[in-house]
Amino acid sequence: MSIPVFADGLTAVNLRTEYKVNPVTDATAPRLSWELTSDKRNQMQSSYQILVASAPSLLNEDKIDLWNSGQVKSRATAQVQYSGKTLVSRQLCYWKIRSWNQDGIAGPWSGVSTFEIGLLSKDQWSAQWIGLDLDNLGKGKTYHLPPAPYLRKEIKIKTGVKKARLYVTALGLYEFSINGKKTGTDFLTPGWTDYHKRVYYQTYDVTADLETGVNVLGSQLSYGWYAGYLGYSLLVGNPVVRAFYGKVPLLKAQLEVSYNDGSTQTFATGADWKASKGALTESDLLNGETYDARLELSGWQKPGFNDSSWQKPEVYQDKEDRKIQTYPGPPVKITGELTVKSQTKRADGSWIFDLGQNLAGIVRIKVKGAAGDTIRIRYGEKLYPDGHLMTENLRMARATDYYILKGDPKGESWEPKFTFHGFQYVEIKGFKEKPDAGTLLGLVIGSDTPKTGSFETDNKMVNQLYSNIDWTQRSNYIDIPTDCPQRDERIGWTGDAQVYVKSATFNRDVASFFTKWNVDLADGQFENGAYPLYAPAPNLRKTDTFSPGWMEAGIICPYQIYQTYGDTRIIEQGWPNMVRFMDFLEKRSGGNHVFKETAFKDLDPKGGFGDWLSFGQKTPPDMLASFYYAYCADLMTEMAGAIGNQSEQKRFSDTSDKIRKAVLAHYTDTTGRFICDAKVYGKGEGYVDGNLGFSGNTQTAYANAIYMNIVSKNNINKAGNFLAELIKENGGKLATGFLGAKPLLPALSASGNSALAYDLFLSKEFPSWGFEVENGSTTIWERWDSFTNEDGFKYNAAMNSFNHYAFGAVCEWMFSNAAGIQQTHPGFDHFDIKPEIDPKSGAGRIDNLKATFHTMHGEIISAWKKDGVHLTMQVTVPVNTTADIYVPADLTDQLTVDGKKVASSKDVVVKKGEKGFIILEVGSGNYVIKRQ
Ligand code: RAM
C-alpha cells in the first residue's frame, strides 16, 4: 500500500486572469485569481506572493522583471490586480503564486500560467476593413439573402518562426483559415455589439500553423448581426429588417510574425487581397444557409490556387470613434454533440430525425447523390401528433438550410457556418438513399461557460427539470443572453436576463459572459438614462424603448456578478451609467419616490411588459416599477459601499427609505394588503392583458414585495400569509408571470411557507414546472401552457418558444433554499448552508438531495438525506472560506459531526441562532452531520 504524502501548506490551482485560463486581455491591470486546496480542515490563506515575468525562466524571485508582489498579507484569492511594470500591447506574461496558511506555513509555488496583452490602441492596427459588396445578388421574394464573400491572400513566410499571432475581427461574422485549417474553434465571431460604438477582435496563436514558404490566409464572411436579419423586425413590419449596422460584411485581420533572428513581419488585410463569391450562396443567422457544393472553389485555401478571376476587395474607411477591443466574454463554441435517437420516414418522402433533446445549434449531414440533388433541412422543437414538424412558432425565421450536392461518389459532408437553429427535430427532404446512423449529427452551440453546478435528487421530475434549466441556459447564452434560440427574435431581452441571472450563476461560470453583456447594456442606454428592452439595442420596432422590470437589468445583473464573484470592477466601470439610470427613475417619479398608477402609460405597450405571461388579474406595472425602484436603490447602496463611494452610498440609502415609505403609503391598505386604484386603468386598453383588470392583491405583488424587502421584516410573515392565501384561493396553483415567478418560492420560504413552496415546486399539475416535465419537455417553455393536452399548441403563430429560460429562474430557489447554499459575503468568502428539507415524504417528494456549486474558492457541496426522523447532512466548505451550517434541530445533543457528539468536535463552533436550527460554524473541509 502506498501512503499519500501531502504538502503541509496550501496548493494553488486553477490560476486564471480576468476569469479565463491563459487569456489575451485588454486589461492593463488584469485581475488574477486562484483556488487553494488542502487535505486539512480549517485552512485559510493569511498571505500570498505573486511573481510575474516576461519569460518562464525569469519566474524566480531574484530574476523577476515584471512584478514581485512580495508577501502580501491578505485573504484575497480573486480579483487581485496586477500592479507591476506597465504592460504594453502584445506583452506575454508568465505568472505563478504561492500562499501561506493561517499558521504562516508557505505552500508550494503553483504551476505557471500566462496572460497576454492585446492591441491596446487603434494605431496598433495596420489592417484595413475589406469586403466585397454582393448585396445586389440577394434575390429571394421574402428574404434578401446575398451570397457570402470569400477572401484570400498568399503570403511568404521565412524560416525560423518564433511566434505568430493573428488579430482578427469582422463587421459581420468571419471564419479564418491558414492553409485550409480553421483558425481556432470559435463560432459566430466576433460576437454582437453596437458596431457603431465598438467591435471585438479575437487573437489566435498561429505559430504552429505557418509553414516556411507560401501560405494562404483565407476568410469567409457572413452577414450575421451586423448586416443580416435581426429579431422580429420583419414580422412587425419595421421599416428596417436587415443590415441594421451596415450592408457589406467586412474583415480586418493582421498576422504578426516574429522570427528567431529578431525580425518581424506583418501581413494585414488591404487592397492586395482577393475576393470572390463562392459556394455559400445564402448565409443568414436567423434564416439559414444555402451551400451549392457545385460552386465550390476547390483549393482556394491552399497555395497555388488560381485566383486570377477573383476581384480586388473594396477597402472601407473605419469609423473613427468605433473602438476595437479584445473579446471579453467566453467564446461561442460547439460545446457538445448529439446523436440521432430515432428517424422516421414521412409519407412525402422526407425524414424526421429526433435528437432527443431541444438545443441551439446546427447539424452536420453526410449524404451521397448526384450533382445538383438538393437537400432541404428544416428545424423544429416539436412535432404535431401526426408526426409532422411544427414550425409555426418560428414565425418569420426561415430557419432552413439547403445543401446542393456536387455528386462526389465517396459521399459529402456539410454543416452550416454562420447560422444556428433552436430545435430537437430535423426534417430532411431530398435524400436519394436511406439515411443511416452516420447521416446526421447534432452540434450544440453556445457561449463556452464552464459548468459550475449540479443538482441531483431522488425525484426524477426534479432531475429532469434541472437538466431542462441547464439546457435552456446553454441554448440561450450565445454571445448575449437571448430569450430564445429558434424564432425570429433571439435578442438580449433585459427582463428575461435580470430575472434569471442569479440562477445562471449556479449552473455555469458566467462572470466574463456578463462582463461582456454589461457593456452592451451600457452601449444601449438611452439619452434619458433608461436601459433598453434588449441589448444590443438596434431599433427592431419603432415603439421599442424601455420597460419597468426590463431596464433594471442594468443594475441587477452587475450586482449579481459582484455578489457571486466578488467583482467590484464591473461596478466601477458601469457606475456612471447606473447613476444616470437612477437619476432617470428619480426624475420620472416626479420627486414622489413612487410610480403611481399609469405612471408609465406613455410606453408601448402601456406600462411596459409588466408581469409578462401571468395568469389572472394583472399586477399594476407601475406598482412593480416602484418595487424595482426601491430594490435598485438598495443594490446601489450596497454597490456604492463596495467601491468605497460613501456619499453615493448615503444618497441611495436615503432614496431607498423614501421610496419604501412612499410605496407602502400608496400601495397598501391599513391591514397591509397591497392595493391599487384599478379604476384609473379604465378598460386596460393598451396594457398587456389589460382587459383582465388590475389588482394590487396578487401573488406577484407579495412575492416581489417580500423578495425585494418592500415590506418590513416584522411584516414579512403577514405578507407571506396573504400570498399563501392567494395561492390557496387559486386552487393551490401559481399565477405568476416572468416578474412574479422568480421571487415566488423564495418569498414563500422567507415567510415561513416553505412547505407550500415545496408543493408548488413538486406539482405536476398545470400550471407548474412539473407539468412541462410530465409533458416531455427537455428545456423550459416560454409559457406555462406552451403545450397542454386540452389545447395542444394554441399559441404557436403568436409566441410559443419551447426554449425560454425566464421561468427557469426557479433554479435560484433550488440552490439557495432546497439545497440552502446562501452567499452572505461577496465572492462566497463566507456562506450559509441552510437547506429547507421537504416536509413530506413518499412518491413525488424529495428525500435525498445533493447540490454542488463551484465558486471562486472551489466547490461547495450541500447534501441532505431524510430517513424517518433522522437527517444526514453532508457539507463541503472550500479552503479559505467559512460557513454557518443551519441544522434543523432543537438540541445540540441530537447532533453528531463525523460520528462524534458536537460538544466533542474541535472543528465546529455552535452559534446562537434562529429558532428551530442549531448553527454550526465551520472552516474548510468536509463534514457529515447527523440528527438522531
Ligand atoms: C418576448 C420575448 C421575451 C420577453 C418580451 C417582452 O417576445 O421572447 O421573452 O421579454 O417578449
- pLDDT tens track for 437-484: 899 999 999 999 999 999 999 999 999 999 999 999 999 999 999 999
Domain final residue, candidates 447, 471, 494:
447
CA of 910 to the centre of ligand 1 (A): 48
Q: Three-state DSSP class for 105?
A: coil
Is residue 870 within 8 Å of 930, Cβ to Cβ? Answer: yes
Check: CB of residue 268 under 8 Å from CB of residue 128: yes
Mutate which of 393, 480, 483, 738 for ligand 1 pocket (most atoms within 8 A of beta carbon): 483
Q: How many CB atoms lie within 10 A of CB 463?
A: 14
∠ CA(525), CA(530), CA(535), 5° rounding? Answer: 45
Please identify, by atom number, the ligand 1 atom nearest to the C-alpha of residue 801.
8
Q: How far is the CA of 192 from the centre of ligand 1 (A)?
A: 19
Q: DSSP for 659-728?
A: HHHHHHHHHB-TTS-B---GGGGTT-TTBTTGGG-B-SSSHHHHHHHHHTT-S-GGGHHHHHHHHHHHHH
Kindly list the distances between the CA atom of residue 697 and the CA atoms of 208, 616, 708, 738, in Å, as whole numbers in the listed order.
66, 11, 16, 17
Asked if residue 322 and residue 191 are part of one domain, the reply reads yes
Q: At residue 199, what are phi and psi to the nearest 5 degrees?
A: -140, 145
Q: Has residue 220 been placed in a domain? A: yes
Residues 400 and 299 in one domain: no
Contact 292, 279 (CB under 8 A): yes
Q: Is the peptide bond before 536 cis (omega within 30 degrees of 0)?
A: yes
What's 534's DSSP letter?
B
User: Measured from the CB, is residue 611 less than 6 Å from ligand 1?
Assistant: no
AA letter at 396: M
User: Are both 99 and 130 inside the same structural domain?
Assistant: no
For the chain, give the percent of residues with pLDDT over 70.
Answer: 99
Tracing cell 485566383 back to the chain, one arrives at 307
Torsion angle of the four alpha carbons 890, 891, 897, 902, in this order, in degrees rounded to the nearest 10: 150
By alpha-carbon position, which residue is closest to atom 3 of ligand 1? 483
Q: Whose CA is nearest to atom 7 of ligand 1?
A: 799
Residues 311 and 201 in one domain: yes
Count of Cβ atoms closer than 10 Å to residue 268 Cβ: 19
**Distance (Å) from CA 785 to ligand 1 centroid:** 16
State how many domains the chain has: 4
Residue 709 zone, left/alpha/beta (φ > 0; ψ -120 to 50; rest): left
Q: Is 612 in the pocket of ligand 1 (CB under 6 A)?
A: yes
Spatial distance between the Cα atoms of 552 and 494, rounded to a whole number of angstroms: 8
Nearest CA to ligand 1 atom 6: 609
What is the residue with the minimal CA distance to atom 2 of ligand 1?
483
Which residues in the chain come in under a pLDDT of 50?
Answer: 1-6
Beta-bridge partner residues of 33: 16
Domain that holds residue 417: 333-447
Does the beta carbon of 488 lie inside 6 Å of ligand 1?
no
Give the Å distance between the CA of 798 and the centre of ligand 1.
11
Structural domain contains residue 632: no
pTM to 2 decimal places: 0.98
C-alpha cell at 159: 524560416
Say whether both 910 and 835 belong to one domain.
yes
Q: How far is the centre of ligand 1, averaged over its atoms, from the C-alpha of 534 (Å)?
A: 9
The answer to the question of residue 311 being in a domain is yes
**Residue where the block lists cell 444590443:** 536
Question: Do 494 and 532 contact (CB within 8 A), yes or no?
Answer: yes
Question: 24-25 and 113-117: which strand pairing?
Answer: parallel
Distance CA 588, CA 595 (A): 8
Does residue 157 line the site of ligand 1, with CB under 6 A? no
Name the residue with the closest Cα to ligand 1, atom 8: 483
Residue 498 to residue 512: CA distance in whole angstroms: 16
Distance from Cα 618 to the centre of ligand 1, integer Å? 17
Neighbours of 683 (CB within 10 A): 9
Ligand 1 touching residue 483 (CB < 6 A): yes
β-bridge pairing 351-367 and 830-833: unpaired
Pocket of ligand 1 contains residue 489 by CB under 6 Å: yes
Q: How far, in Å, CA of 105 to CA of 125, rounded?
A: 48
Domain boundary among 117, 145, 168: 117
With a 6 A CB cut-off, is 282 part of the ligand 1 pocket?
A: no
DSSP bridge pairs for 873: 864, 929
Torsion from C-alpha of 618, 493, 824, 812, nearest 10 degrees: 70
For 824-892, give the DSSP string: -SGGGSEEEE-PPPPS--STTS-SEEEEEEEETTEEEEEEEEEETTEEEEEEEE-TT-EEEEEEE-S-G
Say if 737 falls within a structural domain.
no
Q: CATH number of the domain that 894 lies in? A: 2.60.420.10
**770 is a domain residue:** no
Residues 70, 131 within the same domain: no
Q: Is 51 helix (H, G, I), strand (E, B) or coil?
A: strand
Determine whether the shortest distance from the Cβ of 799 to ligand 1 is under 6 A. Answer: yes
Sign (positive/negative) of CA torsion 541, 547, 553, 554?
Answer: positive
Cα–Cα dist 151/88, whole Å: 31
Phi, psi of 17 (to 5 degrees): -125, 130
In the block, cell 379604465 appears at 682
Within 8 A by CB and 6+ apart from 64, the residues are: 51, 52, 53, 58
The closest of 878, 851, 885 to 865, measured between CA atoms, is: 851
Give the residues across from 37 on adjacent strands.
11
Asked whether 534 lines ligand 1 (CB < 6 A), one says no
Pick from 408, 414, 477, 475: nearest CA to 441: 414
d(CA 134, CA 525): 33
Q: Would the CB of 609 count as within 6 Å of ligand 1? A: yes
CATH number at residue 66: 2.60.40.10
Q: Are residues 128 and 214 in the same domain?
A: yes
Task: CATH number of the domain at 160, please.
Answer: 2.60.120.260
262 Cβ partners below 8 Å, 6+ apart?
none
* Alpha carbon of 772 to ligand 1 centroid (Å): 19
How many C-beta neighbours within 10 Å does residue 728 have? Answer: 11
The answer to the question of residue 467 being in a domain is: no
For residue 741, report the distance from its CA to the centre of ligand 1, in Å. Answer: 15
Distance in angstroms (rounded) separating the CA atoms of residues 606 and 176: 46
Residue 880 — left, alpha, or beta (φ > 0 → left; ψ -120 to 50 → alpha)? left
- Contact (Cβ atoms closer than 8 angstroms) between residue 578 and residue 525: no
Q: How far is the CA of 259 from the centre of ligand 1 (A)?
A: 53
| Pair 107, 179 in one domain | no
Q: Which of 88, 117, 146 is the last residue of a domain?
A: 117
The distance from CA 730 to its chain's CA centroid, rounded to whole angstroms, is 34
Does any ligand 1 atom lie closer than 6 A to the CB of residue 493? yes
- For residues 282 and 339, membership in a common domain is answered with no
C-alpha to C-alpha distances, 171 to 122, 543, 556, nearest whole angstrom: 16, 27, 30
The three three-digit cell numbers of residue 482, written as one number:
437571448
Are residues 137 and 24 part of one domain? no
Kindly state whether residue 575 falls inside one of the protein's structural domains.
no
Catalytic residues: 489, 782
Cα–Cα distance, 443 to 333 (Å, whole number)? 10
Closest atom of ligand 1 to 496 CA is 10
- The answer to whether residues 189 and 107 belong to one domain is no
Q: Which residues of 896-916 are buried (b: 16+ CB within 10 A; e: fewer)?
A: bbeeeebeebebbeeeeeeee
How many angstroms is it from 792 CA to the middle of ligand 1? 21
The residue length of the chain stands at 932
Say which DSSP state 818 is in: I
Model pLDDT, residue 65: 98
* 799 Cα nearest atom in ligand 1: 7
C-alpha cell at 635: 443594490
Residue 574 neighbours by CB under 8 Å, 6+ apart: 518, 521, 522, 554, 558
**For residue 236, is it within any domain?**
yes
Nearest CA to ligand 1 atom 9: 483
Neighbouring CB atoms inside 10 A of 70's CB total 11
Mention every residue, 6+ apart, whose C-beta is less than 8 A from residue 197.
321, 322, 323, 523
Mean per-residue pLDDT of the chain? 97
Choose which residue among 396, 493, 800 to substitute to test ligand 1 binding: the one with the highest number of ligand atoms within 8 A of its C-beta.
493
> Within 13 Å and on the Cβ side, how many CA atoms surround 221?
32
Angle among Cα 297, 301, 305 to the nearest 5 degrees reads 65
φ, ψ dihedrals at 424, nearest 5°: -120, -30
Pick from 609, 611, 795, 800 the residue to mutate for probing ligand 1's pocket: most ligand atoms within 8 Å of its CB: 609
From atom 5 of ligand 1, which residue's Cα is the shortest distance away?
493
324 and 342 part of one domain:
no
Atom of ligand 1 at shortest range from CA of 232: 7
Task: For CA atoms 646, 651, 654, 660, give the dihedral sign.
Answer: negative
